[in-house]
Amino acid sequence: MKKAFLCLFVAASCGYAAFAQPGAATGRPAEGPSLAVSATRAILPQSPQEPDTSPLKVKKYSEAANFAGGVDKSKVMDYFQDQQFDEALRYLSPVLQADSDDVPVLNYAGYAYYMNDNLAAAEACYQRMLRLDPNSLTALHYLVLLQENGDHTAALDHALRLIQLQPNKAAWWRVAGELWARKQEPDSALVYLSRAYDIAPGDVKTVVALGNLFCDGKAYAKADTLVDIALRDDSLNVSLLKLRVRSAYWQKQYDAVLVPGERLLRLNEPSTNSLEWLALAYFNLKRYEECVRVCEGMFDMGLDIEAVYYYEARAQAKLHHYAVSDSLLRKALGKAIGKTAEWYYDDLGDNAETTHRYRQALANYDTAYYLFRDPLTLYTCGRIAETELHNTAMARQYYRRYLALARPETDEEKRVYGYVKKRWGH
């Protein structure tokens, strides 16, 4: 955003402080107590509704209304429809400088800033607008949108105010429920999302929000019931399919993952988690060729992801396609960061050992040790040197380094340590 557009908030006579009214710093309306109350409070009484003053309303208005606030509404709408938000701000700036309490112009400017990704300036406009009119649905709604990813408490205050003004609108209950969930208050979230569902059971956004809440609480049967009902009306809804895959996979109902997962694949929906769960479901069902097909489908979508190479590599190994598996593991290694690279070297070693390429296996395990310093890898190297390469001197070197560094914790680790110490510790 060019500095020139900030003049909307910097009048020569009063400066930016004109917008620093009480309540602006916290993002809450200044009038009245905070509305971030317990979800157990009784349903709030209905207040008179205010017409939505969104600048994107259809352009049907009188000539007098066309110039409300001292600007030509038709001209502003033309700027908005042409996505010329910079030009709109240039046009609105002098008017708002002359009168910072001009509500229609604050509305237009807030929207233009919002669409131009100048979120701080947009919030300042809507805070000012709310200060002038505490019942403004538009200001409250945009403040929820602007604050929901940061100041959850302030956003929730505004959402609850919207419920006061429009208690029969499901969207406000859903938004409030989602904000309670973000505040780690699942019981309160359930109250508000359930109310949203009661008002509009066909609203997919509410079904998804409530279903995810049930999944988070491991109430999978309730989530599945909601989603299955919604899927009857819209069997290809991406959000519903993703939620159904999630629920089935987390329940380890791998067969139930397949139908919704395959629909996402056919839709070319690049949902990484859902498609990974589909691939893993096939793997866990020992349908390795199908696992490979899903992984290849993900690559075709451009999902060039480390984990997908790994999943296909394991499936190819199960199909005894070790050369292909090795190639995929090396690609995964090229993308690996952190601890996961150790798995790939271990699996490269496993593949090589299974196909009797013992020196290659030893080289892969040796690399894994030098990268990640897991003493148990030294034992594996010693075992291969002793039992497969029959190189006692090399085995002794690996075993003694293992004994010097190992700190066994599990029963299996203690058993291995005891064997090596008894056999090679003198």
For residues 301 and 297, give the distance between their C-alpha atoms in angstroms, rounded to a whole number. 6
Alpha-carbon dihedral 158, 160, 164, 169, rounded to 10 degrees: 100
DSSP for residue 42: P
Q: Which amino acid is at 292?
A: V
Pick the more confident residue, 247 or 304. Answer: 247
| 117-130 mean pLDDT | 94
The answer to whether 108 and 96 are in contact (CB under 8 A) is: no
What pLDDT is recorded for position 373? 81
* Dist. CA 77–CA 104, nearest whole Å: 13
Whole-structure pTM value: 0.67
DSSP 40: T
204 in Cβ contact with 230 (< 8 Å): yes
Residue 106 near residue 93, CB atoms below 8 Å: no
CA dihedral 219, 223, 225, 230 (to 10 degrees): 170
SS3 track for 280-344: HHHHHCCCHHHHHHHHHHHHHCCCCCHHHHHHHHHHHHHCCCHHHHHHHHHHHHHHCCCCHHHHH
| Mean pLDDT calculated for residue range 386-412 | 91
Q: How far apart are CA 258 and CA 253, in angstroms?
A: 10
Name the CATH superfamily for 150-217.
Tetratricopeptide repeat domain (1.25.40.10)
pLDDT in the model for residue 425: 74
Whether residue 385 contacts residue 359, with contact meaning beta carbons closer than 8 Å, is answered with no
Residue 334, both tokens:
């090229």
DSSP assignment of 228-241 equals HHHHHH-TT-HHHH
* Residue 100: predicted pLDDT: 80
CA 348, CA 362: separation in Å to the nearest integer? 10
Please tell me if the domain spanning 1-8+62-147 has the same topology as the one spanning 150-217: yes
Domain boundaries, the chain: 1-8+62-147, 150-217, 374-426
* Model confidence pLDDT, tens digit, residues 7-50: 333 332 233 333 333 333 333 333 332 333 333 333 333 333 33
What are the angstrom distances between the C-alpha of 142 and each of 18, 57, 146?
Answer: 20, 15, 6
The answer to whether residue 219 scores a pLDDT higher than 90 is yes
The residue type of 372 is F
pLDDT of residue 370: 79
pLDDT for 338 equals 62
Q: Which residues of 400-414 are buried (b: 16+ CB within 10 A; e: fewer)?
A: ebbbeebeeeeeeee
Instruction: Work out whether the CA dihedral 406, 410, 411, 413 comes out positive or negative.
Output: negative
pLDDT band at 222 (very low <50, low <70, confident <90, very high): very high
CATH number of the domain at 1-8+62-147, please? 1.25.40.10
Q: 288 Cβ partners below 8 Å, 6+ apart?
A: 282, 315, 316, 318, 319
Q: In the predicted model, what is the mean pLDDT of residues 132-150?
A: 93
Give the Cα separation of 213 and 207 in Å (integer).
10
